[in-house]
Amino acid sequence: MNRLEDALRGALRREEPPAGFAGRVLAAAQGRDQQRAVSRWWFFRQSPRLRWAAAFAAVVLLAGGGIEYRHQQRAKAERAKDQLMLALRITGSKLRLVQERIRWIEEAPMER
């Protein structure tokens, strides 16, 4: 096992998909099942208690949306930060390159 392979295992480790992924997949799968969807809608219409529950769920979803928005903003800032760090690292590496070459030439005057 060499170091590159170790590094690849680290870099390619499994990552969880974005939050809510499983829910979205299940919802999409559910959307394909027309018959069940229709029967659920019928059941929902028969029950006022379920309507209240749905209203409550909507309020919770809205509140959750606010939290989600803040998370998205934070994620955007983190991405911008990553770009900033990448830009500074590239700049640093190029400045070092120039410095090192100049230093090397200065230290080896006979070869110029």
Partner 1 sequence: MPEAVKAGTVDRIDFAEVVREHQAMVFSIAYHFLHDRPAAEELAQDVFLQLYRNLGGLESPEHVTHWLRRVTANRCIDVCRRRKLMPRIGLDQIPEPSSPAGVADPLLERRLRQLVASLPEKWRALVILRYQEDLDNEEIAALLEMPVGTVKSQLSRALDLLREKASRFLGEVE
Partner 2 sequence: MRIAIVFLAGMLASASAQEIKMPPGLERLGAKAEESVDVTLDGPLLQFASRVLSDKDPDEARAKKIVAGLKGIYVRSFEFAKEGEYNQAEIDAFRAQLQPPTWSRVAGVKSSRGGENAEVYFKMATGGDIGGLVVIAAEPKELTIVNIVGTIKPEDLADLSGEFGIPKLDFGARRQTSKQTPPPAPPKSKGKEPE
Q: How far is the CB of 23 from partner 1 (least distance, A)?
A: 9
Decide if residue 102 touches partner 1 (CB under 8 A): no
Q: Given the rule CB under 8 A, which of 44-52, 59-67, 75-83, 101-109 is the region that contacts partner 1?
A: 75-83
CA distance readout (Å), 36 to 23, 24, 77: 17, 17, 42
Decide if residue 106 touches partner 1 (CB under 8 A): no
47 vs 83, beta carbon nearer partner 2: 83
Q: What tokens were used for 33?
A: 């099942």
Q: DSSP assignment, residue 18?
A: S
| Site of tokens 């070092």 | 96
60 vs 84, beta carbon nearer partner 2: 84
Partner interacting with residue 91 (select from partner 1, partner 2, none; CB below 5-8 Å by kind): partner 2
CA–CA gap between residue 35 and residue 61 (Å, rounded): 26
